[in-house]
Chain A
Amino acid sequence: MQWYYSKGAVQLGPVSEAELKAKIASGEITTSDMVWKDGMADWVPLTRVPELVVTAPAAVQAPPPISGDSASSYIPPVSAPQPGVNYSGQPIPNYLWQSIAVTICCCLPFGIPAIVYAAKADTLKAQGDLQGALAASKSAKTWVRVSIFSWLAIVVFYILVAVIAGVSGTHL
Chain B
Amino acid sequence: MMHWRRALWVILAVLLLGAACVLLYRNGPGGTPFLPGCLFRKITGLNCPGCGMTRATYATLHGDLERAFRLNPLGMILLPIALLGISLEVAGWVRGKPLPFTFKLKRNSGWALLYLILAYWVLRNLPWWPFTLLAP
Residues of A within 8 A of B (CB): 12-15, 19, 91, 93-94, 96-98, 100-101, 103-109, 112, 115-116, 118-123, 126, 154-155, 157-159, 162
The answer to whether B51 and A15 have CB atoms under 8 Å apart is no
Chain B residues closer than 8 Å to A97, beta-carbon distance? 81-83, 85-86, 89
Q: Which bucket holds chain B's interface residue count?
A: 35 or more
A158-B36 contact, Cβ under 8 Å, with A100-B82, A104-B49, A115-B113:
yes
Give which listed residue, B34, B49, B50, B118, contacts A155 with CB less than 8 A: B34
The answer to whether B86 and A101 have CB atoms under 8 Å apart is yes
The answer to whether A94 and B118 have CB atoms under 8 Å apart is no
DSSP class of A's interface residues: helix, strand, loop or mixed?
helix
Q: Count A/B pairs, Cβ under 8 Å.
A: 100
Binds A, one of B38-46, B63-71, B127-135: B38-46
Nearest-CB distance from B3 to chain A (Å)? 10
A157 to B1, CA, bound (A): 39
Q: Does B75 contact A (CB under 8 A)?
A: yes
